[in-house]
Structure 1
Amino acid sequence: MRIEARTEEPRFDASESIWGAEADVVVTDRPIGSILTETKRLPAGQIDKVLEYQRRKGIRFGEAAVALKLITEDDVLYALSQQFHYPYAPHTRRDLSGELVAAMQPFSDQAEAFRALRSQLMMRMFMPGAAPRALAIVSPEKGDGKTFFAANLAIAMAQLGGRTLLIDANLRGPRIHQLFSIEEKAGLSGVLSGRVQANVIHQIADLNTLFVLPVGVAPPNPLELVERPAFSRLLSELLGKFDHVIVDTPASQRGSDAGVIAARCGAALVVARRHQSRLGALHQLVSRLKDSPAQLAGVVINEY
């Protein structure tokens, strides 16, 4: 994809790419022993010892390696996730925020809640044959947990195996780059302002079907940028390249950005925080969305 600034509005050309990593995901079948050795969770030269113990006890390879205290249960879970193509980040990924529970704690109750919501969204909004649309995550007030929610929902979507893009469109207070330890030098703001930029979409290591487009430099005119036709054209291009597009937005109390972004995306999911979000603000936001072109996917009460 190339972004040209010959006119006031940038024009998009799919002949070049704006992502910084190869977007194709290669799936291969490997035995668990090979995965454990490759990831250095099983010391080299110990395979035969594990195989002999496995045959003698009649147990699984991973169980044998754990019994011999060569690896841990967490190592086995990580290897199984690789074998069954279920991406999640191991605890060794210290660069990822602990808020990314769907990646760091994929078998926790919180991660299961995101998978349950994903199933509802897949049945209601992303059925085969439905018109492609992005999903804007919106909230009435700052601190409702919207960014936490958007990031984990994107991870849960990526764990289905389809290519998922998480866009940080919170041009007023971006935080997605912090959760994934991504440099914020270039991103959405530069794309929408018409500056030619490459390598602004990042493929996340260990979550190889998840891609992130950060904000980049926070602009002085956030509302104007998302109101430009360029934003709609960009979303249209990206929806043709990704199976799912999740978009983080500013809290609606900070301006009209969230409503504009939701209309451009075509769908919105409202996040409110238990014991914190004001009922009046939540009601106003839902009413505005019902009167907009965006399909309202529902309202989620966040207890995080």
Structure 2
Amino acid sequence: MHTGNKNMTDYSSSNSAPGPNDGQAVLDRSIGDIIGETRNLSAEQVENILAKQKEKGIRFGEAAVELGYVSVDDVLFALAQQFHYPYAPQERRQVSPELVAFNDPFSRQAESFRAIRSQLIMRVFNDASAIRKALAVVSPNSGDGKTFVAANLAVALAQLGGRTLLVDADMRSPRQHEVFKLSNNGGLSGILSGRAENQVVQQVQGVPSLFVLPVGITPPNPLELVERPAFGLLIKELVGKFDHVVVDTPADERGSDAMVIAARCGAAMVVARKHRARLPTLEQMTKNLQVACGDLAGVMLNEY
């Protein structure tokens, strides 16, 4: 375990989030410069945009859209670049369509994740708290959307600028490496089984503050691995190195993993699918979580 943690620490420290001055070069650039570079506008097109802008007294982006040189989405992307706000370009959205907080941060769905983020900042990731905690995202059943929620919450937290780590602890049906299109050659299972793992924490392209620890090889004994002291020690180390740690877990119907993971994390949030979750099951699960971790941040109904 010690060898794996050392490799993980080395990798994380070499991919730290940008400092307060790192985005200055972007902030100093005009929207016109960013749009022109993104869409490879010719000098003649730029002159036409400037003329339209002067004629109508509108912004550069509005003039470019009106002339048909760029789309509204291009302007939003340029604004995001200027304010150093992670926002996926069009080609990236097709690669990871589930990441709505990254792909479409101005949508209603993304705004919902920001609202949840605000609650979690107050309830779980509170700087005034004496004990730092990780957040386990749990659900009663497979298919409730737990992985989708955990991934987008991690993106929303990283968009604040603090170092955020998403841990895939669903060692029964891991998916976070698929959502983020990352390598799954090594990860959590290797660390917990004592194998040396190189560069297990991977930085997400386009979101400088977001890192993912995938499962790696799917083990035959997932519950035993998270029940070992090594998992609790690992979580304690991670919450000391990152501003926010979000942990994806197996569905409760798959076994006791989620309860054990939540106990090690110190806080949990339940994701249940609307019109599918059974109230008695949900009530029993929340009671068990309150006993296991002592801090139930809330229950989210996922409608899809």
TM-score (norm: length of structure 2): 0.90
Does 2:77 match 1:83?
Answer: no
1:73 corresponds to which residue? 72
- For residues 88-103 of structure 1, the aligned pairs below 5 Å read 88-94=87-93, 96-103=95-102
**Amino acid in structure 1 at the alignment position of 2:60:** F
What are the Cα deviations for residues 246-297 of structure 1, in whole angstroms up to 9, with x where unaligned? 1100011111110110011110001111111122221221111111234111
1:27 corresponds to which residue? 23
CA spacing shift, 1:15–1:176, aligned 2, 3 Å: closer
1:118 corresponds to which residue? 117
Larger helix fraction of residues: 2
Shift of 1:186: 1.1
**Amino acid in structure 1 at the alignment position of 2:185:** K
1:107 corresponds to which residue? 106
1:246 corresponds to which residue? 246
CA spacing shift, 1:34–1:230, aligned 2, 3 Å: farther
CA spacing shift, 1:256–1:41, aligned 2, 3 Å: same
What are the Cα deviations for residues 170-223 of structure 1, in whole angstroms up to 9, with x where unaligned? 000001111111121111111111111122212112222221111111011111
My pick for the range that moved more, 53-62 or 228-237, is 53-62
2:144 corresponds to which residue? 144
1:263 corresponds to which residue? 263
Give the 3-state SS of the residue equivalent to 2:126 in structure 1: coil
My pick for the range that moved more, 57-66 or 41-50, is 41-50
Q: Over aligned residues, Cα RMSD in angstroms?
A: 2.1
1: CA distance between counterparts of 2:189 and 2:109?
Answer: 32
**Amino acid in structure 2 at the alignment position of 1:254:** R
Q: Structure 2: which 5+ runs fail to align?
A: none
TM-score (norm: length of structure 1): 0.90
Residues paired across the two proteins, number: 296
1: CA distance between counterparts of 2:237 and 2:258?
Answer: 20
Identity of aligned residues (%): 56
Shift of 1:89: 1.3
Give the 3-state SS of the residue equivalent to 1:271 in structure 2: strand
2: CA distance between counterparts of 1:20 and 1:49?
Answer: 47
1:127 corresponds to which residue? 126
Shift of 1:122: 1.6
Shift of 1:16: 4.8
2: CA distance between counterparts of 1:155 and 1:250?
Answer: 20
2:41 corresponds to which residue? 43
Give the 3-state SS of the residue equivalent to 1:267 in structure 2: strand
**Amino acid in structure 2 at the alignment position of 1:213:** L
